[in-house]
Each structure stands twice: as structure tokens, then as C-alpha cells.
Structure 1
């Protein structure tokens, strides 16, 4: 079965109508381009054919804007639903009791597990759809504009595989698999999601389809160690919270929201990535359970540094108050 048909069947089979990639519509734009583009050129050789130039006015005026709009809707929908799901799972105290009263929490976590699996599937199948339609664009135009567009979208934080909530959902599944799967009534998990260690360095991997694999490195590029109290910047890169604060030239008291827009990601050097940073709580739980000895050591050293920074902050506030 061709992917276009498979993708359409998947989207039509969803209980709730979800935004997706207009795969069929975008293919029609490319087909129409071949007939209407005023600047087509002929490619010589045994398979001679007419093709568009690198910058096609027919395609570029409709194809890329349409795809960008659809990608924005897909990422927005995925982020909202994933954030809501994880808030339910991590709820405690009064909030947990409130959700239980409203009937949103199930004692056996069955509904949460299934929705998490569905969301990961939704993210990956849309990532495949986007990759395939851009590949189709480059094939028709004998160009690399599709790949360049993908890079531009990544810098705009519209790439669904960059979403911190995808990382959180992967950690969420592993956490539940380790804590709930012992129950005979626990639903099946998809086995493609795992935490692996290579030369002592951890990474999250997920392979739900043959044609795509997500591999998230969990080594902080600032301290070069396993991320502790992890936070994901809007560019998708993950750091220790204190390392991110240091890179953004802010204290842990003020937090990452206080970072100046000019401050850049230490890894990709993209600016304005700190304000929308997301604390990865599920990943924090997973790593704390999987690296217990390291976690305890890091907890002690970070506690000393946090106390030091808080003391310096209040000392400076007191000096400013008395005018010294």
C-alpha cells in the first residue's frame, strides 16, 4: 500500500478530527506545476523529462506556505494534547483529587497509556508524511529546496520531532512500563521505545515505523555528563537546568524566562530559545530511577551550588535595599 493511502486511512480512522498534512492536495500542486510553470526546462539523457527550476513560482507560492501552515497546526495540536496528558499523569495532591473527581484519571492508567501511544504514533506518521512530500518536491524540481525548507522550519521550531513533549511522552511510556506493567490488567506498550546506554551515555530511542527512528541524546553539551534536572529549549536541545541557566547568563533564582532574546543555544547557536523552555519532568523521573548512584552524587553537588546562588541573590537584594 502506498504511503499516501495509508496516511489518509490513518487520519480518517481517528475518533477526533486532527490536523494533518494535506498529502493529496500537495501532490496535486506539484502535478499542476508541471503543466503551468512558465520556466520549465528539459533534462537531457536516457530519461529525458521536463522539470521546474530550483525556485518555481507556481510551486513556491502555494506549496511551501500550505505545508508550513499544516505543520504549525500539527505541532500545536500535538503539544497541547501531550502537555495536557502529562499534567494528568504528574498531578498530585489537590490537583490529582480534582482530576479524579472530574473523572479524568483512571486507576489503572489504561486511558493515559493508550492516549500517549496514539500521540507518539500521530507525531511520527506526520513526520514521515512531511519528509516524503518534501522528497517528492526535490525529485520533481531536481533541487534541494525541500531539504532547505526543512532546515528553515527547524529554526522556526515547527518540526514535530523537535517537540520536547515527544521526549516526555517517550519517557512517560518507559516509566509506566516499569511501574505498571507488572499488573496483569496493564495494557500492552509499544516496544519500540527504550532508554539505552552506550559507553555510559544514555539516549532515548523510538522506532515505531520502519522508515523513521527518533534518537535523543541525553548528554548535556555544557557539562558533558548525563542531563540532570533536564530542560528542553525551544530549538529541541536538552541541557541540565543549571547548565542552561549558566549558558543564558541568568541565575537559578531568576530562571530561564529572564534570559535575554540575544542569548543563544550552546549547541546550535539559535537565539531566543530560553523563554519557552520546558522542564522534562517525566525524563527526570526516568533518569533518576535508571542512574541512581550518579543522581545522588549530582543532587548533593547541585544542592550546594543552588544554596550558594540563592544566598548571593538575597545578599545583593539586601545591599540594594539599604543603598550599599
Structure 2
């Protein structure tokens, strides 16, 4: 079965359950068909086209005015829906027993099998849309004999609207490993539980920690869990809006804020230490599932780091309140 038909059937099935945003794969293919016909171009543009050796130049209104804006909007909708629903699922997993009981009373799933199935649905949704985007951009470059599709992909990756770069996908990976480990520790055996990921694991490669996962035969995600500030395994990890992961206190230091005020108090002009993007601290995401995974997998390191950071946080809190008191009293 061709991917276009497979994708359309998948999205149709999902929309019957809930109204999901997706990539208008068939519609975008129709837009590209117009670019195959050179006779629709004005003679001036066709001349430029021949000079550059492309089937469709930058001046093509079909591409610049329709294809890329349409695809970008659809990507933003897909990533937004995925992030929102992955966040809800993971918040439910980490919720108190009382909140889980309320959720069950309202008719929503809260047991392990149900959570895994919801996670599986989210992963499938992320994967098939990632493949759809990759294929349509590859088709764009093939038709135009250009690399504009890849350039667009690089641009959206910098803007963090590539679904495989979502911090919530990282959290789902950690969630999957945590569920398996919890079942082993409790001795519980679930009958034929659905698999959330294939080959998902927390590994050390040459002494560096990685979260590695094969989503399909052609899609693999490797996430480096070394903080580029302290050069150690991330502790109390957070993901900035640019997608880079740091220790919480390291991020506070980079943003020039006190740990008491937190990252929300960071000045918008403060930059990510790696990519130098601005406005990346205020919307930072705490990676709670990843934190649980690291605590379980690196117990000695985690306990030592916890003691060190507790003393540092107390010192910063003392300095903060001393400063506030002096400012209030004028002494």
C-alpha cells in the first residue's frame, strides 16, 4: 500500500475517534503536481528557472505562497496537539492516588494497560506524521531538483516544531521504561501488554548517558542526557523551548536567575548556552518522568548530587531572603 493511502486511512480512522490535526498529504501532493507543468510558469520565471537548472524557481507562487506556509501551519498544529495530550497523559501517570480515583470515576483510563495504550496511540500519531512530513519534503526536492525542502526542514528544526524533537516524546520514552521497571519491582505480570516502543532503553555509550529508541525501521531517536554546562548526567532535568536539556540549577545559572525566582523570571534576552537562541527559559518543561528514570538508574550519583544541590539551594535561598530583608528595611 502506498504511504499516501495508508496515511489517509490512518487519519480517517483517528478522526472518527477524536478530531486530530494532521498533514494534508494528498492536498500537498496536488500542489506539487502543478509544479511539474512548466507551461504554467510565466516566460520570465521559466527563463530564470532554466538558468538555475531547477524545475521551479524561488519566485514560484505555488511553492512559496502555498506549499511551505500550509505545511508549516499543519506541523505546528500536529506538534501542539501531541504536546498537549502527552502532557495530560504523563500528569495522570504521576498524579496522586486520589486524583487517579477521580479520573477513574469520571470514566477516564488510569490503569497501566490503559495508560500504555494511550501512550502507544500518541507515539503512532507522532511517528506517522513525522514520516509524512519527511516524505512530502523529499518529494518537493525531487520535483524541483533542489534542496529547498531540506532547508525548510532545518528551519523548522531550529524553531522546534519538528515532532520528533518534542520534549514530551522524551518523556514518553522515559515513561515507557519506568512502567516496565515498576512492573518488575512489584512482580506484577500483565497479560500481553501493548508495547509502547520497540528497543527503547537508557544506555551509557563511552561513559555518556543516552535515551535511545527505535520508533520504526527508518526512524531512531537518540537523546544525549549530558548537561553541557556541568558536563555531567543531567540532574532534575528541564528542556528549554529550543529543545536542549540541562540540569535545573545549571539552567538557572545560565539564565542569571536565583533558584528561588526560577526560570520564569529569566530575562527574554538570555540565550541557550548551546544554540544561542533567546526567549527559551520561560517556557521550559520539567522532565519528571526522565528524572524518575535517572534516579532509578543512577542511584549513587543521584543521591550524591541531591545532597550537593540541597546545600546550594539552601545557600541561594538564604542569600535571596537576606537581600529581600535588607531591601525592605533599608539596612
Shift of 1:111: 0.8
Write the mapping of 1:302-313 to structure 2, written as runs, cut at 5 A.
302-313=309-320
- Please identify, of 191-200 and 304-313, the stretch whose mean Cα deviation from structure 2 is larger: 191-200
CA distance in 1, matches of 2:105, 2:224: 39
From 319, 322, 329, the counterpart of 1:322: 329
From 175, 179, 182, the counterpart of 2:178: 175
TM-score by length of 2: 0.91
In structure 2, the residue matched to 1:77 is 81
CA distance in 2, matches of 1:202, 1:50: 44
For structure 2, list consecutive stretches of 5 or more residues without a partner in the other structure.
Answer: none
Summarize deviations over 1:265-314 as a string: whole Å, max 9, x none.
11111110111100000000000000111101111111110011000000
Identify the structure with the greater helix proportion.
2
Maintained 8 Å contact 2:54/2:146:
no
Maintained 8 Å contact 2:227/2:245:
yes
Shift of 1:52: 1.0
Shift of 1:163: 1.2
CA distance in 2, matches of 1:162, 1:255: 24
Summarize deviations over 1:66-104 as a string: whole Å, max 9, x none.
101100110111011101101110001543343243243
For structure 1, list consecutive stretches of 5 or more residues without a partner in the other structure.
Answer: none
Runs of 4+ in 1 over 3 A off after TM superposition: 40-44
CA distance in 1, matches of 2:104, 2:207: 40
Write the mapping of 1:1-324 to structure 2, written as runs, cut at 5 A.
1-14=1-14, 15-35=17-37, 36-38=40-42, 39-40=45-46, 41-42=49-50, 51-92=55-96, 94-107=98-111, 109-180=112-183, 182-186=187-191, 187-189=193-195, 190-324=197-331
- Please identify, of 185-194 and 201-210, the stretch whose mean Cα deviation from structure 2 is larger: 185-194
CA distance in 1, matches of 2:94, 2:136: 37
Equivalences, count: 319
Q: CA RMSD in A?
A: 1.9
TM-score by length of 1: 0.93
